[in-house]
Amino acid sequence: MITNTTETLVQAAQFAGKTTALLILMSYDATGHYPKEFTGHRFDKPIKFALGGATGATTRDLMTDRLVGPKGARGHGMLPFECIEEDLISYMSGGVKDQVDKIKVRWMGPDNKWDGKSYSIGYVFSYASGCGVYELTGWDYSDELLSAADLPREMFPKPVPSTEILGELLPEVAQQLGLPKTVKVACGGVDNSCMALGARNIAEGRTYTSLGSSTWIAVSSNRPLLDINSKPYVFTHVMPDMFTSAIGIFSTGTSFKWVRDQLCANLLVEAEREGKDPYDAMTALAQTSPAGANRLLFNPSLAGGSSLEPSLHIRGALLGMDLGHTQADVIRAVMEGIAMNMRVALDEMRSLSPVSSGMVAVGGGTKSDFWLQIMANACNIRIARTNIGQQAGSLGAAALAAVGAGLWKDFNRIDEIHQVQYTATPQDKHVPG
């Protein structure tokens, strides 16, 4: 971990404790009380800080509850009990239950004593709404929203183009990473927009789908795609003067994993014995079930409702199950249910913007030709898997650096890098009416 007055760099693998480490650091910064052995930057007065996660629920469960402790058990988190009080915590009026909106933390200072008046203030945002005060069409923070939230503009970094070279590596960072100090640092962008760039969404109407733990249908356009009903997630694109708008299904790969872990123990044992991927065994078995999975239906809302549903409290279900259904039917129904939800998302995007006649698929879910064919049929669109696979976000970030450093003159090289490996074309007899 490397930290200074404005930012902290954590380099670690998945599930290695990055969030925990940052919350511990935040508890030091918010209270002003640091361990003797701490060598990073030490604040000498109360601070303002922000917390944000992928959704309201993950922000609560993985961040605020771990920082201050769950409601009814405050002080059982990273912040010491004496630094927080229940009446110093405000809650959001709607959405996720017990989601913290604002936290006041007693500033203890190096002597670990509170003066009776000094507080650090923490603001909580869901990543789903970005920072919450950015005005998309103005390409800047909204003075009206900043004023309403009582947030100083200087709290937020100045927006700059994603290709802008910000400087070179700090000496301590270069030493930690084993890189020359002369390595240039480009601004970069949010993962959604970098992935859109890496997935060839570099022109009006281009569409891609990301198939991972969750699934997204995203369209690039010269205007934000806003709708009060479907509520697309909209980001300023890393492409100049463009936006990337997306509708997601929160539990797709995780639904398939749930089926693997809970309903396919026999396939797990067989795959381990034969040294094979259990997902390959599941997919092969699903192919023995007919299209429609013998009228078995699956709703993939195992992680709750998305922006397409009327409530975040909606949950998933297998519908129409009877004694005649097999393991193969269940697996196929899950694959088809996810694909049909993708169709709903794609139709919503089609109602808001022109959509390309085909889309690139990226992410781990693209490995199965069979599943891509189910998706192509359900969505009635040509779907291509390319050599980029799960590296679309990395490619987009690298492309920003290449353009920023002058190695590329524009982003058209992205098209050249993609090499189509497989294309699933809709089969008329299996396309829903």
- Selection from 275, 246, 271, 197 nearest residue 345 by Cα: 246
User: Percentage of the chain with pLDDT > 90?
Assistant: 56
Put simply, whether the predicted model's pTM sits higher than 0.85 gets the answer no
pLDDT tens string 44-84: 999 888 777 656 667 788 788 888 888 878 778 898 888 88
pLDDT tens string 282-326: 999 999 999 999 999 999 998 888 888 877 788 999 999 999 999
- Selection from 288, 369, 382 nearest residue 327 by Cα: 288
Query: In residues, how long is the chain?
Result: 433
User: Percentage of the chain with pLDDT > 70?
Assistant: 92
CATH class of 190-433: alpha beta
pLDDT at 241 over 60: yes
Interatomic CA distance for residues 303 and 58, integer angstroms:
11
pLDDT tens string 145-163: 888 878 888 877 778 889 9
Q: What is the pLDDT of residue 9?
A: 58
Q: What are phi and psi of 68, to 5 degrees?
A: -110, -10
- Selection from 226, 219, 186, 225 nearest residue 204 by Cα: 219
Report the 10 Å Cβ neighbour count for 34.
17
Listed in sequence order, the DSSP H helices in 191-303 are: 191-198, 253-263, 265-274, 278-286
Whether residue 96 contacts residue 312, with contact meaning beta carbons closer than 8 Å, is answered with yes
Could you tell me which residue, 129 or 80, shows the higher pLDDT? 80
Could you tell me which residue, 23 or 372, shows the higher pLDDT? 372
Residue spans of the domains in the chain: they are 2-155, 190-433
pLDDT at 337 over 80: yes
Q: What is the pLDDT of residue 339?
A: 96
Q: What are phi and psi of 15, to 5 degrees?
A: 60, 35
